[in-house]
Amino acid sequence: MLGGMLMPDPIRVALIGCGGIMVGRHLRLMLKHDDATLVAFADPVEAAQSRAKEADPSLAKVPTFADHAKMLADVKPEAVVIGTPHSLHRQHIVDSLRAGAHVLVEKPMVNTVAEAEDVIATRDAAGKIVAVAYQRHTQAIFRQIKQLIDDGSLGDIQFITAEQDQPWTTVMLRRGTRPWRVKPELSGGGQLNDSGSHLIDILLHATGLVPERVFAVQQSLTFDVDVNSAIVMQFEGGAIATLAIVGSAPGVQAWVWEDIAFHGSKGTLYYRMIGQPDQNPRLEWRKQGEEEPTPLPEPPEETTPDDNFLAAIRGQEEVAATAEDGLRVAQLSEAVWRSAEQGEAATVAR
């Protein structure tokens, strides 16, 4: 009892996929919530199951499954967190929804527009929540960027420049046998579908702009998936963006170096991140005609996709990153791959 009121029963959460991001992030975030309890782990690799159980003494008796469908049937969780190779996402999402579970899925939600539309239709039929773990939707600095754009502080967005540099190829090669992220049958794409997915998503989410067409050139180097992408985009209303998604940046020692500039009719927002998002990213607002940066308003509260997911299930918050956000990323990504393959501009599906 708290203040004379009964606390709600904890949400019964199962994990599908017990890899590094799941165990290192989602599992630990769920453990911090008194209103959630972990009830099952599913992963075809026994060692991964063991890592999940060993992450905390309280998990020693949590049942494990090699098959996610059997887990869904036997345990009947109320919510599922999915962190598996990208090409498996659609099946895992759809199966979970049909089993009566709400879903939080790692990015990208799926690989194709058709898969995204299938997820949305299944979600609507099931009457459940689908949330995508695009953490920038809940991070304070990106919520601040969106707020300044939404309230008109920058005026009309006219041009966006964005560069994301990572030693992605170095990390892939360091692991010896090439991991699933560079196998197209499992990843669905390369760096564009990996870290690049975060960049594409936040540009669309923060600005609300609708892309019309893209022209892209990509390099695969020695891999079977895209490593580097140079992208020019045109949006409805005339705004333009240039994106450089660089997976072969061996000189970047801090995991990622990212710069974004949002140029509006009234001023510019400059964003820089070196390292991880929680390692002091910088934001500078410069108004037209002013020599010094403009003081930024107090940033909004920072949460996580996991916090938001549980709150959304209880009806306390709206879903921060929706299946529709996942669809928009798939629409743009497909157009980028199509343009790069055909050597000409491609129209973005609507």
CATH code assigned at 110:
3.40.50.720
Domain endpoint, select from 86, 106, 135: 135
User: Are 98 and 122 found together in one domain?
Assistant: yes
Both tokens of 304, joined, read 């996580």
Both tokens of 52, joined, read 């999940």
- What is the per-residue pLDDT for 334? 98
- What is the per-residue pLDDT for 251? 86
The residue among 22, 54, 27 whose CA lies nearest residue 39 is 27
Intra-chain end-to-end CA distance of the chain, in Å: 50
Cα distances (Å, whole numbers) of residue 255 to 173, 230, 278 = 15, 20, 13
Question: Which domain does 29 fall in, by range?
Answer: 11-135
- Round to whole Å and give the CA distance between 75 and 39: 7
- How many domains are there within the chain? 2
159-190 per-position pLDDT tens digit:
999 999 999 999 888 866 678 999 999 999 99
User: Are 173 and 123 found together in one domain?
Assistant: no
Highest mean pLDDT: which of 114-118, 253-257, 274-278, 291-295?
A: 114-118
Enumerate the H helices of 151-232 as residue ranges.
Answer: 168-174, 184-187, 195-207
Residue 275 pLDDT > 90: no
4: pLDDT confidence band, cut at 50, 70 and 90? very low
Residue 2 pLDDT > 60: no
User: Are 81 and 41 found together in one domain?
Assistant: yes
User: Are 79 and 151 found together in one domain?
Assistant: no
pTM exceeds 0.85, yes or no: yes
Residue 228 pLDDT > 90: yes
